[in-house]
Amino acid sequence: MEDPLSSARALLHSVFGFNAFRPGQEEIVRAVLDGENVMAVMPTGSGKSLCFQLPALVRPGLTLVVSPLIALMRDQVQALTAAGVSAGSLNSSNEPTENTRVLGLLRRGELRLLYVAPERLARPDTVEMLAEAGVSMMAIDEAHCVSQWGHDFRPDYLTLGNLARQIGGRLQTLAFTATADAPTRGDIVEKLFAAPPRVFVRSFDRPNLRLAFKPKERSTRQVLSFVQSHKGESGIVYCSSRRKVEELAETLKEAGINARPYHAGLEKAARDANQDAFQQEDGIVMTATVAFGMGIDKPDVRFVCHADLPSNVEAYYQEIGRAGRDGLPADTLTLYGLGDMQLRRLQIEQGDSSDERKRIERQRLGALLSLAEAPRCRRQTLLAYFGEASEICGNCDLCQEGVELFDATIDAQKAMSAIVRTGERFGMEHLIAILTGDLTENVSKFNHDRLPTFGVGKDRKATDWRSIFRQLSAVGLIAQELMEHGRWRVTDEGWEVLKGGRRVELRKIVAAPAGKGSRRDR
Ligand code: ADP
Ligand code: ZN
């Protein structure tokens, strides 16, 4: 008799048409076939779906796939059906005939994969039906949706652990996600699994992508010269507004570049035509809002430029990740200015999310700003954010060009002593008010004007201090508690600096334009 892994390999060719596993897939498939509960953290595009689809076909019985994204569900069901697999989905946007087809297959025990939206699964009739039909395995896609600290919290995900028990006692459970920092990972394990699962984490490193950030000076020129340095190559230029998308497309066209705009405000026909051209022709530069990208599967995108700061680290990573899918060198450049930072902050403050959510969004933005201002290897800083330790890369602007540094030991000690003297219980703006001697309501309320630290950082503006905090965070001397009101604490390494045993070098702070950015974003 053939062992399950050999059957999996055979199906990899015959059903999916692939020659080999991608890195990481085989170990996961093997663990799943061994009956283990699994949590897999893998970057987008690395081939997560195969890790549950393949075992679902090797093992007998029905695999339930929970996914919050109806469009992705539909794509996967279509692809599986086309490959001759009996698959279906239950969700609110199905045609009634589709539901009838799926329920029929289910009742006859012929269905192998059933995709369900979490809110549909929360319905008692669905649970009952599945318990009756028998389910052998549950795969949860986008598992970070279970975490309130994630950027995509779905309350219905919280009940999945319980539902698994109702549907099938000790139902084998698999959780997949592309984004999970340490607290989110902890949440996934706690909320979806009764006992700790086998954990697989694929590296987020994309060594073929060159990383670079530049402060905005004359941004249109900066974009133009970056694009011109990639003559004839396909690339994407992301902008934060539709107007800018159109303007930049014009500017690039005038310079003889084959540029096309893409944003949600364009007629669907024009949008589709531009996307098709980008996908099929060589050397097209798409100027686009973030509406462009989902479902783009072009392997030879040679560069991604952010004409404006992305909204947070995750967005940045996804967006640059569209370059160099073929593994060949690709170039990225992100421009950022004080205006961008303020715009992104304002978008968070004026959005209608809960206070807790806003705090998390602020921190994710802060992490991106830390990356923009990192004093050392950008890749190392980025990977550290995803919880991954790495060596310096030699393939980022900071490794290659360096950056002007200054001895920031005293500044670092001031900032850290403000953190420590207030009991590691406060957020950045309050700490900065103390440092700059700003007698705010909260400073008075907590008597923090009586601290020896009060006003010791008067020589610097609040914007400078923000940069210092972000840089100290980027190099790991201070850390922000994601779950506890965004309070800052001093790390073990930070203590070495505080006790005077270690020097700190930070990047020179470029003076902010006068009158901007000090009180507004409080
Ligand atoms: P993710 O869910 O991780 O973003 P997908 O599961 O959608 O990624 O897979 C991304 C792409 O990679 C899909 O087009 C898929 O067909 C392809 N793919 C997955 N596994 C393999 C493989 N072993 N060989 C070749 N292509 C693969
Ligand atoms: Zn580097």
pLDDT digits 0-9 by tens, 41-89? 987 767 899 999 999 999 999 999 999 877 778 889 999 999 999 999 9
Task: Look at residue 175 and tell me whether its pLDDT is greater than 90.
Answer: yes
Separate counts of helices (H) and strands (E) for the chain? 22, 18
pLDDT of residue 193: 93
Q: Which residues contact 76 (CB under 8 A, 6 or more apart)?
A: 49, 53, 65, 67, 87, 115
| Distance in angstroms (rounded) separating the CA atoms of residues 207 and 285 | 23
pLDDT of residue 510: 64
Task: Look at residue 516 and tell me whether its pLDDT is greater than 80.
Answer: no
pTM: predicted TM-score of the whole model, two decimal places = 0.67
Task: Look at residue 152 and tell me whether its pLDDT is greater than 80.
Answer: no
Q: Is 354 exposed, middle or buried (0-12, 13-18, 19+ CB in 10 A)?
A: exposed
Kindly give the distance from the C-alpha atom of residue 99 to the centroid of ligand 1, in angstroms, as a whole number. Answer: 27
Kindly give the distance from the C-alpha atom of residue 51 to the centroid of ligand 1, in angstroms, as a whole number. Answer: 10
310 lines ligand 1 (CB under 6 A): no
Kindly give the distance from the C-alpha atom of residue 202 to the centroid of ligand 1, in angstroms, as a whole number. Answer: 14
The minimum-distance atom of ligand 1 relative to the CA of 42 is 3
Task: Look at residue 191 and tell me whether its pLDDT is greater than 90.
Answer: yes
Which of 21, 22, 115 gets mutated to test ligand 1 (max ligand atoms within 8 A of its CB)? 22
CA nearest neighbour of 313 among 395, 376, 378, 223: 378
| Distance in angstroms (rounded) separating the CA atoms of residues 95 and 89 | 11
Specify which residues 259 forms β-bridges with: 285
* Confidence grade of residue 196 (pLDDT, cut at 50, 70, 90): very high
Name which residue sits closest to atom 17 of ligand 1, judged by CA: 47
Q: What percent of the chain has pLDDT over 70?
A: 94
Neighbours of 339 (CB within 10 A): 15
Task: Look at residue 227 and tell me whether its pLDDT is greater than 80.
Answer: yes
The average pLDDT across 155-183 equals 85
Number of residues assigned to the chain: 522
CB burial of 400-436 (b: ≥16 within 10 Å; e: otherwise) equals eeeeeeeebeebbbbbbbbbbebebebbbbbbbbbbb
pLDDT of residue 403: 86
* Confidence grade of residue 515 (pLDDT, cut at 50, 70, 90): very low
CA nearest neighbour of 121 among 151, 93, 144, 89: 89
Kindly give the distance from the C-alpha atom of residue 139 to the centroid of ligand 1, in angstroms, as a whole number. Answer: 16
Kindly give the distance from the C-alpha atom of residue 398 to the centroid of ligand 1, in angstroms, as a whole number. Answer: 32
28 lines ligand 1 (CB under 6 A): no
| Distance in angstroms (rounded) separating the CA atoms of residues 129 and 151 | 32
pLDDT of residue 339: 79
Task: Look at residue 482 and tell me whether its pLDDT is greater than 80.
Answer: no
325 lines ligand 1 (CB under 6 A): no
Task: Look at residue 124 and tell me whether its pLDDT is greater than 60.
Answer: yes
Kindly give the distance from the C-alpha atom of residue 334 to the centroid of ligand 2, in angstroms, as a whole number. Answer: 15
Tokens of 498: 């505080």
Task: Look at residue 242 and tell me whether its pLDDT is greater than 60.
Answer: yes
Task: Look at residue 258 and tell me whether its pLDDT is greater than 90.
Answer: yes
21 lines ligand 1 (CB under 6 A): yes
Contact between 167 and 127 under an 8 Å Cβ cutoff? The reply is: yes
Kindly give the distance from the C-alpha atom of residue 399 to the centroid of ligand 2, in angstroms, as a whole number. Answer: 4
Name which residue sits closest to atom 20 of ligand 1, judged by CA: 47
Q: Which of the residue ranges 39-48, 191-200, 415-424 would you say has the lowest mean pLDDT?
A: 39-48
The average pLDDT across 432-439 equals 97
51 lines ligand 1 (CB under 6 A): no
Name which residue sits closest to atom 13 of ligand 1, judged by CA: 47
The minimum-distance atom of ligand 1 relative to the CA of 44 is 4
Query: Which pairs count as long-range contacts for 250-255, CB under 8 Å and 24+ apart, including other chains?
Result: 251/220, 251/224, 252/223, 252/224, 252/227, 252/285, 252/287, 255/224, 255/228
188 lines ligand 1 (CB under 6 A): no
The minimum-distance atom of ligand 1 relative to the CA of 21 is 23
Name which residue sits closest to atom 25 of ligand 1, judged by CA: 18
For residue 25, what are the CA distances in angstroms to 32, 50, 54, 89, 90? 11, 8, 10, 24, 27
* Confidence grade of residue 518 (pLDDT, cut at 50, 70, 90): very low
Q: In what helix (H) or strand (E) does residue 379 lie, and over which residues does it extend? A: helix 378-385
For residue 442, what are the CA distances in angstroms to 214, 259, 426, 456? 36, 51, 11, 18
* Confidence grade of residue 180 (pLDDT, cut at 50, 70, 90): low
Q: Which of the residue ranges 17-31, 76-90, 296-310, 461-475 would you say has the lowest mean pLDDT?
A: 461-475
Query: What's the mean per-residue pLDDT of the chain?
Result: 89
* Confidence grade of residue 511 (pLDDT, cut at 50, 70, 90): low
Name which residue sits closest to atom 5 of ligand 1, judged by CA: 47
Q: 517 or 368: whose pLDDT is higher?
A: 368
ipTM tops the 0.95 cut = yes
Please report which residue ranges of 83-215 form alpha helices under DSSP H.
96-107, 118-121, 124-133, 160-168, 182-192
Task: Look at residue 380 and tell me whether its pLDDT is greater than 50.
Answer: yes
45 lines ligand 1 (CB under 6 A): yes
495 lines ligand 1 (CB under 6 A): no
42 lines ligand 1 (CB under 6 A): yes
Q: Which of the residue ranges 57-61, 305-309, 360-364 would you say has the lowest mean pLDDT?
A: 360-364
